[in-house]
Structure 1
Amino acid sequence: MNEYINLTKDNINEEHICCAISDKKHQQGVEIKKEWLKSRMKEGHVFRKLNAQGKVFIEYAPLEKAWIPVQGNNYFYIYCLWVSGSFKGQGHAKNLLEYCIQDAKKKKKSGICILSSKKKTPYLSEKKFLQHYGFEVVDSIGDYELMALSFDGTKPSFMDTAKEMKIKSKKLTIYYSPQCPFTQNCIKEVETVCKENKVALDLIVIDTLEIAKNIPCLFNNWAVFNQGKYETHLMLNANIAKKVLGI
């Protein structure tokens, strides 16, 4: 039988954070993420995972407190729904999403929303899977779509600032937050590449809800701009950073 557990202030120090359990170079990021989670739990943030050594979890929060440039009333926002490797095809994504839906109904929420895309995109939930549960597109920016399962007919939307997808600075600029355990090591690799190649770099940490709600793009925990244009939400290791920079 599948057993799932929710992280709490009492068990978080002993439990693993699913997405970064196998690589020691990300452990600093794991500890930072756990401290971030401890502060969010009192706001209703939920991190639910399979009680096994694997990457199987869902992470969501009340939209009003969610570090994402989306606005709406009385919704849950799903940050991440991830099932990987040998755990795929066992119904975990279904179980985790249905838990979130039931939790939303129990707490009398107006609905649930999540970021997806018109085409399959890394780190984003598949559109067809969400549509199967009644999620519909309620807002979009290019290929990216905000999908919502509304219980009362209301709809969330992207913040106006998120629709800019550009900045004034021409420097390589990265917005990042403590929410993702991968960011700390990626920052080190990017800094090394920029230093070796004499590339100007701006690192902008998203460390408050206000900043997260008003960033100039869709992605709250990692967003890369170059020459003023949005480039990617994919984490940059040294090789990917060089590709973005054309080095």
Structure 2
Amino acid sequence: MANIQMIEVNTEMLEGIGSYCLRSKKKSQGYINKNKWLNKRFEEGLKYIQLLKNNKQVGFIEYTDAEFSSRVVHADDYLVIHCLWVSETGKGHGAKLINKCIQDAKSRLKKGVIVVTNSETSWTPSKEIFLKNNFKLVDTAPYQFELLVYRFENNTSLPTFPTNWENRIQRFQDLTILRSFQCPYVEVATENLITAANELGLDVNVIDLKNRGELMELSPTPYGIFSVVFKGTLISFHRLTIHSVMKRLKELMD
């Protein structure tokens, strides 16, 4: 019978077990950046729970207070799930991890738990598992972003997205990357963009979002960790191949 364990990773354990994503490339800059980011966020109360099956990593969930979250959403007194991933589906692993977050939220007297999803990319969690676990869709934003909530009391205030997305995007006319290192794949996404821009003779402005205040003010999408904008147009909010980046940039340059 399989031995299933849930382990809350802290700074000390991170040195040994490591973070989940990109764990096969522990010397990559993206992996290093993620671990540095986690160590800072642990001080803010972020939870990084790994699921082990027979001592092998098979999934994880990352969540934190909305006030410290990397998602662009108004959700005071909620917990925000950043990431949920399992390597084996249909085993109930995802539900176990979601329930862990819900129980933490209840014990801390939070209003509930939220998650931002998007059907265009695997960079956000899939909404289906949350709908199966009684989350409800409560708001949407451009580019197919959706806000789901598990609310403990029906009379508590619902979380919402900002509404000024077009104004946010229009302020960036030069080729601009806005990023944080909540995701280890941000590094390679940045490298691909810069390589494509160099091929086309374009300069790239990189804005590292240092805190939640900057994130809430500047991010052009609810997924606050990576955005590429050029001539007031959103190029991407997730990793693209060099070829795909060049194609999109050329369309705007013509």
Deviation at 1:178, TM superposition (A): 1.7
CA distance in 2 between counterparts of 1:196 and 1:228 reads 21
8 Å Cα contact 1:168/1:228 also seen in 2: yes
| Among 3, 6, 10, the residue aligned to 2:5 | 3
Deviation at 1:33, TM superposition (A): 1.5
Change (3 A) 1:30 1:121: closer
| Among 53, 77, 80, the residue aligned to 1:77 | 80
CA distance in 2 between counterparts of 1:53 and 1:182 reads 22
Counterpart residue identity of residue 25, structure 2: D
**Cα RMSD (Å):** 2.2
CA distance in 1 between counterparts of 2:57 and 2:232 reads 38
Counterpart residue identity of residue 234, structure 1: H
Deviation at 1:161, TM superposition (A): 4.2
Normalised by the size of structure 2, how large is the TM-score? 0.86
Change (3 A) 1:200 1:77: same
Normalised by the size of structure 1, how large is the TM-score? 0.88
> Do residues 238 (structure 1) and 216 (structure 2) align?
no
CA distance in 1 between counterparts of 2:75 and 2:193 reads 35
Deviation at 1:138, TM superposition (A): 1.7
In structure 2, the partner of 1:166 is 169
> Do residues 146 (structure 1) and 147 (structure 2) align?
yes
Gaps of 5+ in 2: none
CA distance in 2 between counterparts of 1:190 and 1:121 reads 17
CA distance in 1 between counterparts of 2:58 and 2:230 reads 31
Gaps of 5+ in 1: none
Counterpart residue identity of residue 239, structure 1: H
> Stretches of 4+ moved more than 6 A in 1?
none
In structure 1, the partner of 2:15 is 13
Change (3 A) 1:240 1:22: farther
- How many residue pairs were aligned? 243
Post-superposition CA distance 1:173-211 (Å, at most 9, x none): 221112111222332232222122202322111121211
In structure 1, the partner of 2:213 is 210
Counterpart residue identity of residue 4, structure 1: M
In structure 2, the partner of 1:185 is 188
In structure 2, the partner of 1:60 is 63
